[in-house]
Structure 1
Amino acid sequence: MTYEVGTELPALSVRLKRDDLVRYAGASLDFNPIHWNEKTAKDVGLPDVIAHGMLTMAVASRIVAEWIGDPGAIVEYGCRFGRPVVVPNDDEGALVEVTAKVTKDFGDGTVKVNINAAFDGKSVLTGAFARVRIS
C-alpha cells in the first residue's frame, strides 16, 4: 500500500433503502419507529423516515475498509451525527456519497483519514475520522 498525506481514497456511493433499515434494525435491535414508520417520524418533526445514525456511520467506514483491504486495520473511528439521512419509500432510496483523504501520518505505522459522508449534497457526519494501521 502506497500512501502519503493528501492521498484521496476512491469515492464510495451507497444507496440506502427502507429494507436496509429493517435489516439493520433487526441486527442492532434498534426498532425505534422513526426508522420505519412515516407517521411517527413526521409526528416528531422529521421530514420522513431516517436511517439509523450508526448505520450511516458504518456505511461511511466502508471507504477506509475497502481502501486498506482489512477492516481490522481500523484502530480508531469516530464522528458526530450532523444531520439525518432521509430514506424515502421508493425504489431509489437515499444516496450517501462518501469521500476521504489521508490527513496525518503518526509515524507509528498508522495514519489519520478524514471522512466526509454526504446526503442530498450536505454533510451528515461531523468530524468523521479513522486511524488506520498501514504496516
Structure 2
Amino acid sequence: MSLTWKEISLNEEMILEKLPIEKVQLVKYAGASGDFNMIHQDEETALKVGLPKIIAHGMLSMGFLGEHLKDIVGENGFVKNLKVQFRGMVFIEDKVICKAIAKKKNEQEKLIDLDILAETAEGRVVTKGSASIKYY
C-alpha cells in the first residue's frame, strides 16, 4: 500500500493487519535480535515467571509499525523518525493491527507527522507513539 503525498489526508487512518503471532516467527526474531529469553519461545518458562503464555518481543510490535510506515511511503520517500512507548504485551497467537493517522502535513518540507498505534484484535493497545515520513 504505497501512497503518494497527495493521497494522504489529515486524520486519515491507515491500517495494516498482521497475521497471528506464531512461535516460529518469535524464534526467527530471537535470532535476528539476539534476544533469546525463553519467555519468547517456551511456554513452560513463560508460565514459571507468571505469564499466561509465551509473549512476543516488545521490539517486534515496533518493527510492525516501522513496516507499516515503510509500506505507506513506499518508494516515494522514507521514514524519518519513529518513537514508541510499549504499553502492553503481545502474546503468541495474538493478531496485531497497526494504525497510522496523519496529524500534520508540512508542504514545504514534504513531511507528514503521524500518530501510530499497535493493538490486538481485541483492542488492547500494546505500542503507541509518533513518526514522520518524508516524501521526495
What secondary structure does 1:66 align onto?
helix
Q: 1:53-95, CA deviations, whole angstroms, 9 ceiling, x for partnerless residues?
A: 11111012222111110497101101011001010xxxxx221
Matched, 1:41 2:46: yes
- What residue is the counterpart of 2:134 in the other structure? 133
Would you say the 8 A contact 1:100–1:116 is kept in 2? yes
2:98 maps to amino acid: V
For structure 2, which runs of at least 5 residues remain unmatched after alignment? none
Report the number of matched residues. Answer: 128
TM-score, normalisation: structure 2: 0.85
- What residue is the counterpart of 2:36 in the other structure? 31
Cα distance 1:5–1:36, how it changes in 2: closer, same or farther (>3 A)?
same
- What residue is the counterpart of 1:96 in the other structure? 96
TM-score, normalisation: structure 1: 0.86
- What residue is the counterpart of 1:114 in the other structure? 115
Post-superposition shift, 1:112? 0.8
Q: Choose which of 27, 38, 52 in structure 1 pairs with 2:57.
A: 52
Identity of aligned residues (%): 31
Post-superposition shift, 1:44? 1.7
Distance 1:70 1:76 in 2: 17
